[in-house]
């Protein structure tokens, strides 16, 4: 697999501050993924603290802001410094932190959300990323991933069964949504906080 920073430096240089600069195929596919994440979180957004892991330009926050779905608190995290600078400029009253999810200490929040963040990680990094989100989320995590058995030098695909097994082994129940885009699936893991 290629390195995150190298990959995103190239896409950003080529496409700038656009969804394609974050390796989304279009603003429409980005919006569709955001709609599914919003559907999964539903009533939780306004009453919860949310960390957006791999926030890019903070577009998910902007998507929620346009729909009057402002989280109780929001922190965007990304490892790419240029993305954080753009996010801070776009949403100056919101917290954005430059952190490596895999290596750095992370803030606690009710929910961790990741949209597109797993796409170019290695298999090991994917499971570590999900583990770190689970540890730092008190209510649960919501994320999407490339679903399938494709082999790619660039992109990371997982099967629905791999994801289900990973969470079932840890005692979690998965809510999964697919069919909204080809080779894409969204997952909600809700912690039992009874």
**Using CA atoms, how far apart are residues 27 and 143, in angstroms rounded to an integer?**
18
Mean pLDDT of 103-112: 97
Predicted pLDDT of residue 159: 87
Average pLDDT rounded to a whole number, residues 156-162 = 84
d(CA 190, CA 172): 7
Query: Across residues 159-184, what is the average pLDDT?
Result: 90
| pLDDT band at 1; cut points 50, 70, 90 | very low
Question: Would you put residue 68 in left (φ > 0), alpha (ψ -120 to 50) or beta?
Answer: left
Q: What percent of the chain has pLDDT over 70?
A: 82
Question: pLDDT tens-digit profile of 8-23?
Answer: 556 656 656 655 555 5
Per-residue pLDDT reduced to its tens digit, 52-90: 999 988 999 999 999 999 999 999 999 889 889 999 999
Residue 24 pLDDT > 60 = no
Annotated domain spans of the chain = 4-148+158-190
State how far the Cα of 177 lies from the Cα of 175, in Å rounded to an integer. Answer: 7
pLDDT classification of 192: cutoffs 50, 70, 90: confident
CATH of span 4-148+158-190:
3.40.50.150
Predicted structure pTM score: 0.87
Answer whether 75's CB lies under 8 Å from 109's CB: yes
């Amino acid at each position: 697999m290629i390195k995150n920073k190298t990959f995103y430096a190239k896409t950003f240089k080529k496409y700038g501050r656009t969804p394609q600069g974050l390796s989304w195929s279009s603003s429409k596919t980005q919006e569709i993924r955001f709609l599914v994440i919003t559907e999964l979180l539903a009533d939780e957004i306004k009453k919860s603290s949310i960390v957006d892991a791999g926030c890019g330009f903070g577009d998910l926050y902007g998507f929620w802001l346009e729909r009057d779905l402002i989280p109780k608190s929001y922190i965007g995290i990304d490892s790419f410094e240029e993305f954080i600078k753009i996010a801070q400029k776009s949403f100056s009253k919101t917290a954005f932190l430059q952190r490596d999810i895999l290596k750095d200490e992370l803030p606690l929040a009710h929910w961790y959300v990741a949209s597109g963040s797993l796409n170019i990680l290695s298999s090991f990094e994917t499971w570590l990323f999900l583990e770190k989100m689970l540890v730092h989320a008190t209510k649960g995590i919501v994320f999407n991933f490339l679903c399938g058995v494709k082999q790619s030098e660039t992109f990371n695909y997982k099967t629905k069964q791999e994801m289900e097994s990973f969470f079932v082994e840890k005692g979690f129940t998965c809510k999964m949504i697919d069919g909204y885009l080809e080779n894409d699936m969204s997952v909600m893991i809700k912690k039992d906080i009874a």
